[in-house]
Chains A and B, each alone.
Chain A
Amino acid sequence: EADIYQTPRYLVIGTGKKITLECSQTMGHDKMYWYQQDPGMELHLIHYSYGVNSTEKGDLSSESTVSRIRTEHFPLTLESARPSHTSQYLCASSEFDRNTEAFFGQGTRLTVV
């Protein structure tokens, strides 16, 4: 059973609002990831982290930002939400060794109106 949690599960918010999507894991994993996925489509990596105070941008350009102040916590922030940000956001974590699987949270489905 994976111990990685995302909140909220669903969020409907107005244009221009600032939002933070939370992701926490209790497995002590060093690596964490954020993916954006539209329904039935591919997963796009938008941010990843190797550990505390390490953050990198992924392959898909995103207006969001992330922070990694604690190992277990990897929040994603949108300063000003727009309808184009409507999507599902999936958080994942894995051990630092690349030969290990990634565990995913349940996802946050964001709708910006």
Chain B
Amino acid sequence: GQQVMQIPQYQHVQEGEDFTTYCNSSTTLSNIQWYKQRPGGHPVFLIQLVKSGEVKKQKRLTFQFGEAKKNSSLHITATQTTDVGTYFCADTGTASKLTFGTGTRLQVTL
């Protein structure tokens, strides 16, 4: 079955440093969605990418969809303590199943 892996599994940065998480699929992704889950909370939708090579920005966050639609990335510029949480990518799939990646946990310290 499909596997959606994210690296790194965990990253600890100093506030102000940049952060990137990578999402890689064993099969071609349909659409890719990104979610953020704060500690003790539930996943909250951030953005969706649809087209090959698409790049979208939300303030300090930059999302990219690979040309072959088998990978995606999320880059945060100048992290803040409010960025703490786990970031998940999710494939909407041909059967609309919504399969989540393994997640990357971000810790930010002052």
Contact = CB atoms under 8 A, between A and B. Distances in A.
Interface of A: 31, 33, 35, 40-43, 45, 48, 50, 56, 58-59, 90, 92, 94, 96, 98-99, 101-107
Contacts of B88: 42-43
Contact of A45 (B45, B48, B97): B97
25 contacts: A40-B86, A40-B105, A41-B103, A42-B100, A43-B43, A43-B103, A45-B99, A45-B100, A48-B97, A59-B1, A90-B42, A98-B30, A98-B31, A98-B92, A99-B31, A99-B48, A99-B50, A99-B92, A101-B45, A102-B33, A102-B98, A103-B45, A104-B44, A106-B42, A107-B42
Interface of B: 1-2, 30-31, 33, 35, 42-45, 48, 50, 86, 88, 90, 92-93, 96-103, 105
A29 B77 CA distance: 35
Contacts of A43: 43, 88, 100, 103
Nearest to A31: B96
Nearest to B30: A98
Given A40-B105, A43-B88, A90-B43, A101 B96 contact: no
B44 to A, nearest CB: 7
Contacts of B43: 43, 90, 92, 102, 104
Contact of A48 (B31, B48, B90, B98): B98
A45 B3 CA distance: 12
Contacts of A104: 42-44
A45 B43 CA distance: 14
Contacts of B86: 40
A35 B96 contact: no
Given A59-B1, A99-B50, A101-B33, A42 B98 contact: no
A50 B33 CA distance: 19
Given A48-B97, A56-B97, A92-B43, 7 more contacts: A42-B101, A42-B102, A45-B99, A101-B45, A102-B33, A102-B98, A104-B43
